[in-house]
Structure 1
Amino acid sequence: MVYYIVYCIIFMVRGGIMNNLRRFIMYQILFALLFIVTSFLSACSSESNPAGDSGLTDISQGEPDSGNEDAGVEDIGTFQSRLTRYPYITYRGNNSFTLFWETDHDETGYIRLDDKLYKVPPTKLSIKVGADLKTRTIYQYSAKFDMLPEDRKITYEILSLKTPLKSSFSSRSTNNDFVFAVYGDNRSGAPYLDENPTHKEVTSLIAKYEPEFVINTGDIVYAGGLEGEWYQFFNDGATLFRKAALFVAIGNHESGGYDIFNRQFDFPNGEKFYYSFDWGNSHFIVLCLDCGISPENEQYKWLKEDIETADSNPDVKHLFVSFHEPPYTFSTHAPNMDARNYIVPLLKTTRTRLVVNGHNHTYEHIFKDSIHYLVSGGGGAPLYPEKEIKYEEGETPYMVKYQMVFNFSIVHVSNNSINVKTFDNNNQLIEEFNITEE
């Protein structure tokens, strides 16, 4: 193409266009054909290069194995490591993911992603884990994969284990049709200590619907400062978290464990506890009410800019927002008035149609000012009893469904509509509703 441009310039400078019009047209055709052929060959070369497909050039804290790309387990040795924390996936934006896992041995980690082999050195940690709260030494691995191909199932296998583990997850969808899940308030840890059977039950059921990602509305542990409780959260949900990217809205029970939170997750927006991401035709916003929300603070200003930008983007068909304490609820905990006074007015000026919260251990579906609010707090913590619904004088009733039940929701997003199905921990349908574009 460069040669073609240079040739045209020289040809015109010499004044040959008028005198040699026929030859000029012939050269134009020849150069156009040459450009098409070279472009085709270049595309073929790119498709035959696995590194070009995956976009992977390195891995966090480690480099791709310098040996044979087709190396098998026999080429990297045998291992004694057993999992102390099952693998789970977080999304950092820009189709980049981080895969975490932990073991009981100090061994270099090896992971195969599709047909590429990578190694990851461990980070040694001493923490209190288990019902006895004894200090144990574990080894954490975090593998960062950047710019993965979109709209694909990504297969991975952790090879550096006594028993290798193989699974897969969905890369970011660019399609207008995808599924995600919502649940919260599982509160692993005390008083359960060893396990939370209901949380295991709920996450195992969610996994059967094969969501591309899951949003937890907060209170994932009982005491945020006790690292052992975080272990229980991940291991209770292992069936789901190894296959679907996990997003979390910080709850009040995570207070005191913000440093631990940052060590467990790798979300968009760096180490801040509020963030947003795009998936398919939708924009998602996750907020931290514990961080404070008012017109004067940083999170509010960030939210205002982020949601207004997304709302004005013609490629964004749907807006979803999640934070822990609900602005509308009739259960044990009162509504969060900061959320009602500062967040809701911003949502009402945009195309936001679904807000997911937790905090109250129940299921509530509220429809107010063209926005659906779900209180999805039935992930495993003790349930709260239903209370009498009382509206303010002259207020239009807005409660759609209210039930004391363990629950989770499966959200199916398409081009112009959103389908929401909520199930109990026996996989029985509690409610189904549709949101259509106005």
Structure 2
Amino acid sequence: MKKYMLLLFLLIIGQVFSVYLNDISRDGVTVSWFTEEPSTSYLIVYDGSNESIHSDEEVTLHRFRVSGLLPGMSYAYTVKSEKDGEVIYKGNGILTTAPNRNTPFSFAAYGDSRNNYVVHSEIVHGIASENVPLVIHTGDIVSTDDAIEEWIDFFEVTEVLSDSVLYSVIGNHESEAINYLKFFAFPGNERYYSLWYGDIFFIFLNTNEAFDKYSQQYVWLLTQLEEAEEEDPAHIVVCLHHPPYSYGSHGDHLYLKEYLVPVFENYNVDLVLSGHDHGYQRIERNGVTYVITAGGGAPLYDITRGESLVASAKAFHYMLFNYTLEGLYGYSKTPEGLILDSFYIPKHN
């Protein structure tokens, strides 16, 4: 029922979501956009083949999976939607496939944008200035999943990131994530999933559903980490919404510390990115770097001092990461470009 209410609402207001990219791989990517009324659509990627992907089905959410591309290459593309022979939407951009191993790259992360349109816009413009191919959101994209106006604002604000591929975790404000799962196209079951991007193995967890030792998510996590070990990643990065450790208002998450922290330590996870406790924190525990990046627009919280709290800031910010073949450099930056904190994580031996 909520799905059809969403479609009706968007039809009434005449909204169009610009093109956005999800589910990147070394040879492909998923391209999506939303039109105000059901229409046919096509996409062409200028890869030298002059072939287009076409759909005669009249839909409002247009989604194509592009494959057969080369790793680490940028391609221009065009999308178009037609209704009764008339073009009702046309867009274009650049998509870049995931790189091969042994390739340096950069990515950005931020979280808890929620319904602060102005600050969120400043954050994504800062990220856009970094020209990163990959952007990660640590959850609480909107204040509630069925707040359609906020989803509209989100896609409007992030239009400046349309040449970057976007990944996210589900925050507590996304709750059942009905619209979240409709709009985004992620791999696996889409609630939790993994991604190889160059030398780095990313895991995206859902801390809104069971992750104890008897849960499907926990078993899946162990399997993913064991399989990744065989591929010898330079770094393992885990993304989730709730932080195991925090010196902000929400504090530590007991069950994360009980069930997931031992896994992170046993499988040599380098970096854990989370949101939830609004502001910036970097915590070092038993060889794992925990970064809370929750400065995307939601009201900021006070942060107390702590023994393992290396750096913190009550500030709106985003994270920039530069992977070199030697290691991973991290920077916490304000929208204006001020560096709040920087750190380095050496590559796995």
What TM bracket, shorter-length normalisation?
0.7 to 0.9
Equivalent in 218, 224, 238 of residue 159 of structure 2: 238
Counterpart of 1:225 in structure 2 is 146
Q: Check whether the contact 2:25–2:97 (CA below 8 A) recurs between aligned residues.
A: no
**1: distance between equivalents of 2:182 and 2:149?**
13
User: Structure 2: which amino acid aligns with 1:165?
Assistant: G
User: Structure 2: which amino acid aligns with 1:416?
Assistant: E
Is 2:117 the partner of 1:199? no
Is 2:74 the partner of 1:164? no
Q: 1:19-418 maps to which residues of 2 (within 5 A)?
A: 84-91=16-23, 93=25, 95-114=27-46, 115-121=50-56, 124=59, 139-160=60-81, 161=87, 164-174=90-100, 175-188=102-115, 196-240=117-161, 242-256=162-176, 258-269=177-188, 271-314=189-232, 316-386=233-303, 388-390=304-306, 397-418=307-328
User: Structure 2: which amino acid aligns with 1:431?
Assistant: D
> Does the C-alpha gap of structure 1 residues 272 and 108 become closer, same or farther in structure 2, counting only changes over 3 Å?
closer
More strand per residue: 1 or 2? 2
**1: distance between equivalents of 2:148 and 2:27?**
29
Q: Check whether the contact 1:323–1:356 (CA below 8 A) recurs between aligned residues.
A: yes
User: Structure 2: which amino acid aligns with 1:364?
Assistant: Q
> Does the C-alpha gap of structure 1 residues 334 and 351 become closer, same or farther in structure 2, counting only changes over 3 Å?
same
Shift of 1:261: 1.8
> Does the C-alpha gap of structure 1 residues 113 and 200 become closer, same or farther in structure 2, counting only changes over 3 Å?
same
Greater CA radius of gyration, 1 or 2? 1
Counterpart of 2:4 in structure 1 is none
1:229-277 per-position Cα deviation (integer Å, ceiling 9, x unaligned)? 222211111101x111111111100003x222221111111x3411001
1:161-194 per-position Cα deviation (integer Å, ceiling 9, x unaligned)? 5573221021011142111111000013xxx5xx
**1: distance between equivalents of 2:68 and 2:121?**
32
1:140-168 per-position Cα deviation (integer Å, ceiling 9, x unaligned)? 21111124321101211124455732210
> Does the C-alpha gap of structure 1 residues 186 and 107 become closer, same or farther in structure 2, counting only changes over 3 Å?
same
Out of 97-106 and 278-287, give the one that drifted further.
97-106
User: Gapped runs of 5+ residues in structure 1?
Assistant: 1-81, 125-138, 391-396
1:296-343 per-position Cα deviation (integer Å, ceiling 9, x unaligned)? 1000011011112212323x2111101000011100112212211111
User: Structure 1: which amino acid aligns with 2:276?
Assistant: H
- For residue 212 of structure 2, give the secondary structure of its aligned residue in structure 1: coil
Shift of 1:416: 2.3
TM-score (normalizing by structure 1): 0.71
User: Structure 2: which amino acid aligns with 1:170?
Assistant: T
User: Gapped runs of 5+ residues in structure 2?
Assistant: 1-13, 82-86
Q: Check whether the contact 1:157–1:167 (CA below 8 A) recurs between aligned residues.
A: yes
Q: Check whether the contact 1:286–1:321 (CA below 8 A) recurs between aligned residues.
A: yes
- For residue 23 of structure 2, give the secondary structure of its aligned residue in structure 1: strand
Please, what is the CA RMSD of the aligned residues? 1.9
Shift of 1:381: 1.1
User: Structure 2: which amino acid aligns with 1:261?
Assistant: Y
Q: Check whether the contact 1:94–1:147 (CA below 8 A) recurs between aligned residues.
A: no
> Does the C-alpha gap of structure 1 residues 140 and 328 become closer, same or farther in structure 2, counting only changes over 3 Å?
same
> Does the C-alpha gap of structure 1 residues 122 and 245 become closer, same or farther in structure 2, counting only changes over 3 Å?
farther
Q: Check whether the contact 2:113–2:296 (CA below 8 A) recurs between aligned residues.
A: yes
Equivalent pairs counted in the alignment come to 326
> Does the C-alpha gap of structure 1 residues 162 and 225 become closer, same or farther in structure 2, counting only changes over 3 Å?
closer
Counterpart of 1:430 in structure 2 is 340
Q: Check whether the contact 1:120–1:142 (CA below 8 A) recurs between aligned residues.
A: no
**1: distance between equivalents of 2:269 and 2:247?**
22
**1: distance between equivalents of 2:344 and 2:165?**
24
Q: Check whether the contact 2:329–2:343 (CA below 8 A) recurs between aligned residues.
A: yes
**2: distance between equivalents of 1:374 and 1:123?**
43
- For residue 270 of structure 2, give the secondary structure of its aligned residue in structure 1: strand
**2: distance between equivalents of 1:121 and 1:203?**
35
> Does the C-alpha gap of structure 1 residues 278 and 325 become closer, same or farther in structure 2, counting only changes over 3 Å?
same
User: Structure 2: which amino acid aligns with 1:239?
Assistant: V
